[in-house]
Amino acid sequence: MAGESDYGAFTEKFIIQPSSSPDQELPLKGLTFAVKDIFDMEGYVTGFGNPDWARTHSAAMTTAPAVLAVLSGGATCVGRTVMDEMAYSINGENKHYGTPKNICSPDRLPGGSSSGSAVAVGGMLVDFSLGTDTGGSVRVPASYCGILGFRPSHGVVSTSGVIPLAQSLDTVGWFARDAGILNRVGRVLLQLPEVEPVKPTHITIAEDCFQLLSIPSHRVTSVLVKSVEKIFGGHIVKYACLGDYVKDNVPTLKHFKGERLEDQEYNVAPLAALSSAYRRLERSEFKNNHGEWVSTVKPDLGPGISERVWAAVRSTDENIDVCHSVKTELRAALTALLGVSIPLGTYDNLPVSISLLAKHGSDGFLLNLVETLYGTLKEQIDIAQELSY
């Protein structure tokens, strides 16, 4: 384990040089990166955040394609990072390896499950890092740690050689402090050509989601809106109630009406029901993937994680077909979701972020948009923070 000088981000440090000639001009040449301890790397045991998992598994025979891609792109790997045990939490804590230190707010959690990867970037220990995102495991720690985090469209970056949590939802994501590096890493992983940025036709703000914030919503939305107005013009900014849209376009959610679809403030009940369907699907696939190992080994798991894991192992697969239908309908309605977390400075000395979504398969467009907007966003952040003092 790494010491305090590494902010507790690493479980293991080593150097793996790029698999290309040093004379080649490559998109990631000269950059360093770290890898969440969920990716297979030839000759190393993938720990999955738990010593009992590491003890009962052999060293990987091959390296995950996502890791090979960034090595081939010219980047140097410097180690493996701490993660929540079995990736089954969003907090960023680990009782065995320690909780990585949130550089932005040292008395707060870093967010998980890709906690060490986020902290390694936030602490300027690496230029970028790889994580996984099933239900927010890149976007949440990016937000907590005040850095950029990207979850790509499901299925567009290979998850081969990555221990699954719930394969219907798992993606390979990445972190960076710099929007240009975020874009370059994405183009390598997504195998995208360099193209000129395309102007968005509209940017829709989900008003009902922002009403749930514990800070003034304008502190978040105004920064984005003013940046968009400056670059693209205010006419492309639209507003919508995401809860209503989901309720109208995902009819299978009626099966969850008895649970959480009743009327709630700001009409987020459909989103709560959507979350319930997601959790049920995640729990079922986790059980199918790891239930036998958990029942046989009875691993030592930290508080919170232990209860969640055993609840999944003892669960039934009730309504799983309905959950898959919800997922299919949502993708059809929204052309699926793709997200990127963008830091928007601080409020009350805590980091604030916003998440942008684009339709499935529009990853390159979104990466370019973030890079285009980011400079102006930082200007608007500075203005907003000055006005709040």
Backbone angles phi, psi at 55, to 5 degrees: -65, -30
In contact, 243 and 271? CB cutoff 8 Å: yes
The catalytic residues are 36, 113, 137
Give the bridge partners for 350, in sequence order: 347
> How many angstroms separate the CA atoms of 324 and 274, rounded?
11
In contact, 174 and 147? CB cutoff 8 Å: no
In contact, 49 and 94? CB cutoff 8 Å: yes
> How many angstroms separate the CA atoms of 299 and 43, rounded?
23
The continuous run of DSSP H or E covering 33 comes out as strand 32-36
Strand pairing of 32-36 and 76-81? Answer: parallel
Taking residue 21's Cβ as centre, other Cβ atoms within 10 Å add up to 8
Question: Six-digit token pair at 290?
Answer: 């790891």
Whether omega before 113 lies within 30 degrees of 0, making that bond cis, reads: yes
Helices and strands counted in the chain (H then E): 13, 10
Backbone angles phi, psi at 312, to 5 degrees: -65, -45
In contact, 370 and 148? CB cutoff 8 Å: yes
175: Cβ–Cβ under 8 A, 6 or more apart, which residues? 114, 117, 118, 121, 128, 129, 131, 138, 141, 142, 147, 148, 149, 150, 182
312: Cβ–Cβ under 8 A, 6 or more apart, which residues? 88, 283, 284, 286, 287, 291
